[in-house]
Amino acid sequence: MDGNLIAFLALEWKFIAPIYIGDTVYQKRTVEFKRESRKPERGIIRFKLEIIDQHKKVVQEGTRTLLVKRRPQEP
């Protein structure tokens, strides 16, 4: 987030299957929603995250909600 993260608002997480030593995992991240906050220079973003193993099986999943700085709006 390179200096744009203001606060970590929420985390929901599920452990679906084990991850073993030697497994290869990667993360898939999707923006579920984004909206302005009460202050125009800030916004709220919720990401859906999936941890996927080498067999393409989702082993963990959840959401992360962040308060971030917004880009200045052009007049």
pLDDT digits (tens, 9 = 90+) for 16-75: 999 999 999 999 999 999 998 888 889 999 999 999 999 999 999 999 999 999 877 666
> Model's pTM, two decimal places?
0.78
Structure-block tokens of residue 33: 């929603």
Q: Tell me the CATH class for 5-69.
A: alpha beta
The DSSP secondary structure of the chain, one letter per residue, reads -TT-EEEEEEEEEEE-S---TT--EEEEEEEEEEEE-SSTTEEEEEEEEEEEETTS-EEEEEEEEEEEEPPPPP-
The full set of domain ranges for the chain reads: 5-69
- 8 A C-beta contact, residue 17 and residue 23: no
Task: Provide mean pLDDT across the span 7-24.
Answer: 97
